[in-house]
Amino acid sequence: MKVEEKKVVSITYELKQDGNDGEVLETVTMENPLTVILGIGNLLPAFEDKLLGLSEGDNFNFTLSAEEAYGGYNDNAVISVPKETFVVDGKLQEEMLYEGNAVPMMDEQGNKLTGVITSVKDDHVVMDFNHPLAGIDLFFKGEVVGVRDATPSELEHGHVH
Ligand code: ZN
């Protein structure tokens, strides 16, 4: 059976930054393969395109450019946030305010987003709201370990049972 839209596909892979010699960013093994229904927006479209037509047991390796993946790095997504933002019940949450901390936030429209603190100043912190993989070319090397039809209820729910 070949990988097509509306099939349930299981894959293992290693994700590296830029290319085969790059830093390993993520490893997905047989113990816990990534299993998704294709063609319903679960994966990056460019990633799905690379899997289409493969069969169980096929290996793959390919690079997605940053533009095909999580977009370029946007300098405007790095902003100063006043420390008052982190006051809860009248108390500044000092323990949250350290470099590298990923903090769940909400924008003015109520959308959830995560910002990573890149520096802590006297009265504000600088936060980076770029996707952690923004601006990075992604190299995937892996194997298709399963392909099957999705059940009607899986298609209805949009996830694998
Ligand atoms: Zn369900």
CA 29 – ligand 1 centroid, Å: 24
CA 23 – ligand 1 centroid, Å: 36
Q: Can you tell me the distance from the alpha carbon of 32 to that of 35, in angstroms, rounded to the nearest whole number?
A: 9
CA 155 – ligand 1 centroid, Å: 9
- The predicted structure's pLDDT at residue 108: 84
What are the pLDDT digits (tens) for 9-38? Answer: 999 999 999 999 999 999 999 999 999 999
Q: Which residue has the tokens 């294709």?
A: 38
pLDDT value at 137 more than 90: yes
What are the pLDDT digits (tens) for 77-95? Answer: 999 999 999 999 999 999 9
Q: pLDDT averaged over the chain?
A: 95
What are the pLDDT digits (tens) for 56-83? Answer: 999 999 999 999 999 999 999 999 999 9
The string of DSSP codes covering 11-50 is EEEEEEESSTTS-EEEEE-TTS-EEEETTSSSS-HHHHHH
pLDDT value at 48 more than 90: yes
State the burial class of residue 29 (Cβ atoms within 10 Å of its Cβ: 0-12, 13-18, 19+). Answer: exposed
- The predicted structure's pLDDT at residue 106: 87
Q: Can you tell me the distance from the alpha carbon of 50 to that of 47, in angstroms, rounded to the nearest whole number?
A: 5
3-class DSSP state of 75: helix
**107: pLDDT confidence band, cut at 50, 70 and 90?**
confident
Q: Can you tell me the distance from the alpha carbon of 154 to that of 8, in angstroms, rounded to the nearest whole number?
A: 9
Q: Can you tell me the distance from the alpha carbon of 38 to that of 16, in angstroms, rounded to the nearest whole number?
A: 22
* Domains of the chain in sequence order: 7-70+134-157 (3.10.50.40), 75-128 (2.40.10.330)
CA 151 – ligand 1 centroid, Å: 10
Q: What mean pLDDT comes out for the span 129-143?
A: 96
Q: What mean pLDDT comes out for the span 35-51?
A: 95
